[in-house]
Amino acid sequence: MQLADRTQRIGVSPTMKVAADAMRLKAQGVDVVDLGAGEPDFPTPPHVSAAAHRAIEDNFTKYTANSGTDDLKRAIGQRYRTDYGVEYTPAETIVTAGGKQALFNVALALFGSGDEVITHAPGWPTLVEQIKLADATPVIVRTHVDDGFALRAETILAAFTPRTRGVIINSPANPTGALIAEADLAAVAEEAARRGVWVLLDLCYERLIYDPVPHNLPGVLVRHLRDRSVLCGSASKTYAMTGWRCGWALGPAEVIGACNALQSHSTSNAASITQKAAEAALRGPQDCVTAMLDEYRRRRDQLVEWLSVEPRMTVHKRPTASARPPSSHRRCSTRRASRSPPARRSTRPGSCACRTRRPWSSSARGPRAFWNSRAGARRSACE
């Protein structure tokens, strides 16, 4: 069967592939810890679910404006104003079916044939595939374990050419957990402004930074590159709303208008009920976010303690909820805060299931006991 050329340029998302592999093994009765998709094991906060119930009861189940309700767009703007001190109007905001669609809309709106778009690796594979789907050429800059996978301005700037059209930065980074420093982003933004290059910022994990590290990246871009930058965010990780599918993009009105046109011919509006839930999440109490983050931090610290006794691995704490993979000849990874510790089999993007020896087998208090003791924390963190 002959398919369109664009299907030959991309592959299936490795994150989705490993999730399917994990589900297949679980169906066979295998004890599996899925280290693929970043899936919080907390329930959606009760006040968010309650808002969705009210939407159904009020029959808020029809089409909304393609770009999202004004109420939700204002709530997104207020959240970024409160957290980062930046201002975006509803005309500069679009609501999408997840953060992935926000990034895809922007890539299609800005990039095309002959363009080069810089992004970084190790990184989220979808960013590269979206660049290809936009008919542009991805230019990959490497980050390195010896430098903590830090994204440096000089590395990005060295990749600029006359064909460079954009830079896509994911910080906190998936899967390394590394951050780009504000000063490094400012240097990139200043050079991008001089050359007329766009900067896209993927902030999916923006509220899940464990340690007090300066990370006002939206403020940096607004100061240096307001008219040629786009912020993409999501409710998925922050509010344990992965299945609700709600993301957004903030940027110049002309770019958001182009995204709106594209979206009008694909998915149309994000689900009306989801929009009411997301509005409640953004406007409501944020202590549930802090509670989840505190629990993730406890898990990170415990996991690092266990893995540190394994002589085949080198483990370092990362400041964010995307955990840096421990160095190992087997390259087994501990990405994010999963619902269980490493078990008999683990799966990760780009790999088959691999058997891993439990380095904590002699511990008096093993990982299952620890995670069972934290089960109540998962249920109560947002209640």
Boundaries of every domain in the chain: 5-44+287-380, 46-283
C-alpha 11/C-alpha 244 separation (Å) is: 25
Enter the CATH code of domain 5-44+287-380. 3.90.1150
Please tell me the predicted confidence (pLDDT) of residue 327. Answer: 52
| pLDDT tens for each residue of the chain, 383 residues long | 999 988 888 878 877 788 889 889 999 999 988 877 778 989 999 999 999 999 999 999 999 999 999 999 999 999 999 999 999 999 999 999 999 999 999 999 999 999 999 999 999 999 999 999 999 999 999 999 889 999 999 999 999 999 999 999 999 999 999 999 999 999 999 999 999 999 999 999 999 999 889 999 999 999 999 999 999 999 999 999 999 999 999 999 999 999 999 999 999 999 999 999 999 999 999 999 999 999 999 999 998 999 889 888 888 776 665 544 455 433 333 333 333 333 333 333 333 323 333 333 333 345 555 545 555 555 555 55
The phi and psi torsions of 320 (rounded to 5 degrees) equal: -130, 175
Helix (H, G, I), strand (E, B) or coil at 106: helix
Q: HSE-up of 127 (CA within 13 Å, CB side)?
A: 27
Q: Which CATH architecture has domain 46-283?
A: 3-Layer(aba) Sandwich (3.40)
Report the predicted TM-score, pTM, of the whole model to 2 decimal places. Answer: 0.83
Q: Which of 382, 114, 74 is CA-nearest to residue 248?
A: 74
Instruction: Tell how many helices (H) and how many strands (E) occur in the chain.
Output: 14, 10
C-alpha 383/C-alpha 361 separation (Å) is: 35
* End-to-end Cα separation, the chain, in angstroms: 52
Burial class, 4, CB count within 10 angstroms (exposed 0-12 / middle 13-18 / buried 19+): exposed
**Strands 137-142, 116-121: pairing kind:** parallel
C-alpha 213/C-alpha 26 separation (Å) is: 38
C-alpha 373/C-alpha 77 separation (Å) is: 38
* Helix, strand, coil fractions of the chain, as percent rounded to 5: 45, 15, 45
Q: Which of 306, 287, 284 is CA-nearest to residue 295?
A: 287
Burial class, 175, CB count within 10 angstroms (exposed 0-12 / middle 13-18 / buried 19+): buried
Same fold, 5-44+287-380 and 46-283: no
C-alpha 44/C-alpha 381 separation (Å) is: 10
Residue 340 in contact with residue 371, Cβ under 8 Å? yes
For the packed helices 70-84 and 217-225, what is the interaxial angle rounded to 10 degrees? 100
